[in-house]
Structure 1
């Protein structure tokens, strides 16, 4: 079993001037609920300049500027799953079968 310090860390950086704390907190809650045994931490980092980005262990999962807006929670969960737990089924949030 992984210890909390050995589990991945997700960081959500959000713009305080844009008032995106609630969006960031909601996404953090969704990720913690879905990946409760697969994550060691989800951190919220205040920023400015319209920033909204999500990283796992320093690797970018989403950036509002380069990815075009905010992630759909289903897509965000899929990206995180693919990075930290590729065999994990996401139930109704999973991709449709090809």
Structure 2
């Protein structure tokens, strides 16, 4: 959970005026998915790893521009 909280802080810092709704849903089993408008843009289950520093920001940057 600490990694997810750190990522939440990073996203809200860089996109505070772009994000209208944000949900952090605690779960078990190491599930971590990031969706934007219903599209999964990162899945720990699919990739077998947590996102690297800055990776999610880059994924969002390409979709928000």
TM-score bracket for the superposition, by shorter chain length: 0.7 to 0.9
Q: Which runs of 5+ in 1 are unaligned?
A: 1-20, 87-98
**Count of equivalent residues:** 65
Q: Greater RCO between the two (CA within 8 Å, min separation 6)?
A: 1
Asked which structure has the greater CA Rg, the reply is: 1
Give 1 or 2: higher strand fraction: 1
Q: Which runs of 5+ in 2 are unaligned?
A: none
Moved over 4 A (4+): none
Taking structure 2 as the reference length, the TM-score comes to 0.84
Give 1 or 2: higher helix fraction: 2
Taking structure 1 as the reference length, the TM-score comes to 0.59
- Once the two structures are superposed, residues 35-63 of structure 1 have per-residue CA deviations (whole angstroms, 9 ceiling, x without a partner) of 11111122110122221111112211111
